[in-house]
Structures are given as structure tokens and as C-alpha cells.
Amino acid sequence: MHSSTAEPRSVQKVCRILSELTNPGPHRLSNIVANTRLNKATVLRLLESLIEDGFVLRDAQDKTYSLGNEALAMAAVIADRSPFPQCAHPSVLRLAEVSGDSACLCILCGGDAVCIDREEGAYPLRANYVHVGRRLPLGVGSAGLVLLAWLPQDAIDRMMERNSEALVRFSRLSAERIRKDARAARARGYALTTNIVCEGTGGIAVPILDTDGRPVAALGVTAVAKRLVARQDMLARLLHEEAVHIGTSLRQRPAMAAARRPNTVGTADDRGVSPRKMAAPVQP
């Protein structure tokens, strides 16, 4: 956990470096040091260990770092075990086609919202500040705001404290404004933000919740700010409809998996996946 009051432990430092490498590159040593807020010598030492163990690659020619084959192997295991990305992708495609704008799926990852899927619409002017792998602190952008808003109040307080340093980068945001916007998003059933991450653009997002009502992902659309605001009611309706489709697909997935693998011992839950915990978002 990132903390503004205590020195992070070694494992937390490693996690910061790996998390930074999930962002779009290139990743040079100076960038990694600045973005992780770690000592240069510490970053170098940990990078060498991660390279030795296969989690990080170093390009000797341009002196940049990237995730290595061990990270790729972990991603492959997650993709095989989790039905979520596959169930959600058709909805992302439909949203991009119907809206004409960029549709994206973001997951809750520590204190951040991380984009794991994105499709472009046909409208020529696009909001390109969200890419696969892009992470923004909870409370920033529509996906980050919606993932924060549906957390219990004590979890919101912890996340706000955790991200206090990261939020300084966004001059138009304050802790008070984020809390106010989160309450408003929860009340209307979706989050709408404009001119926060990139001037003239914005996003709208709805949560995908587990059966306990906690957010696990955000389904959203990004677009030119004026175009987004003018169509927010229509976009919110589309987003809620697709979120329901995702929830339905996830509830059907265990039976589909069992039919494909009749000799497999164990259930999806035994493999660390609980599709039945997913649910459609709260309606406005």
C-alpha cells in the first residue's frame, strides 16, 4: 500500500515498480524513480533482481525497462482462469459501435483504476487519454470516480489517504471535490467527469458490482467533453444495459465451463474465481 507517512517495505517497493511498468512506456530509469517516488539506488537494485528472475526486461540499446516473461506467464494464467475479460469484451465492442466513441473497461487494482480493454468508435474526434494498461488513482476520471464512489465509507477514507500524494498531480481536483463528486455519482448511478485528465475531454462510467455491492470494475465511454455531456442520459442507459449483459454472462459462465471440461475436477470457485459474485450495477 502506498503511504504518505511510512517508508514502504521491500515488497511494496517491488509492487510499485511492477505497477509502474504496466503503464504505457517507454520506461526509463528516471521515469520509474519519479513515478514510484523511490530512491534511485533502490530502484536500480530491485530492477536488477527482477531482471534476474524474469519479471523485467531491459533494452540495452535504448536503456528502457518493460515487463518480462514471468509477468506474461502470470497474465496468461489469469486470462485462463478469469472469465471476466472475455464476458465483458462484447459489451465494450457494442458500446464503441453504438456510441461512436471510445469504450473501455477498467478494474479496481490497489488504489488505482486500470484499463484492461478498450475499443475505438467511428467518431473522428477522440479522447485518447485512456489506454490499455493506463492507471489513474481512484477518484480521478469517470472510471476512477465510480470505483471509489461505490466503496464503503471507511474504504473511501483509506483510499483518499493512500492516494493523497498521487492526487496532487491533478490540479483541478481536491479531496473535498472528489468526495462531493463521488456522492453525486452514487446518487445518480453513474460518474461523469470532464476536463480533469485531459482538457476538452471527459468520460462517463458505471460500476460492475459483486453480490455484496462492492465495485470490481467500471464500464465507461470517453469522448470530447461537449459531445459527452450532450448525450449523457443516452450513454448512461447504454452503459447500464451492457453492465447487465456482463453480469448475466458471468452468471452463465460456470455452466458453460463445466460443459466444455466435463472431466475437470473442481469448480471455478476452487480455481480462485467466483463469477457468481459479479452483479449488475446499481440502477440510477
Quick one: CA torsion of 54, 58, 59, 60, rounded to 10 degrees?
Answer: -120
Question: 159 has which bridge partners?
Answer: none
Residue-level pLDDT at 273: 33
> Which residue from 97, 10, 71, 94 is spatially nearest to 45, judged by alpha carbons?
10
Listed as ranges, residues in the chain with pLDDT below 50 are 1-5, 255-284
Residue-level pLDDT at 16: 86
CA 2 – CA 193 distance, rounded (Å): 25
Residue-level pLDDT at 185: 97
Q: Collapse the DSSP code of 150 into the 3-class scheme (helix H, G, I; strand E, B; otherwise coil) and give the result.
A: coil
Q: What is the pLDDT of residues 67-98, one digit of tens each?
A: 888 887 887 777 666 777 888 999 999 999 99
Could you write out the DSSP letters of every residue in 81-93? H--HHHHHHHHHH
CA 248 – CA 91 distance, rounded (Å): 12
Residue-level pLDDT at 178: 95
Grid cell of 145 as nine digits: 470516480
Grid cell of 116 as nine digits: 484492461
Residue-level pLDDT at 160: 94
Q: With contact defined as beta carbons under 8 Å apart, do 56 and 66 qualify? A: yes
Question: 156 has which bridge partners?
Answer: none
CA 24 – CA 220 distance, rounded (Å): 20
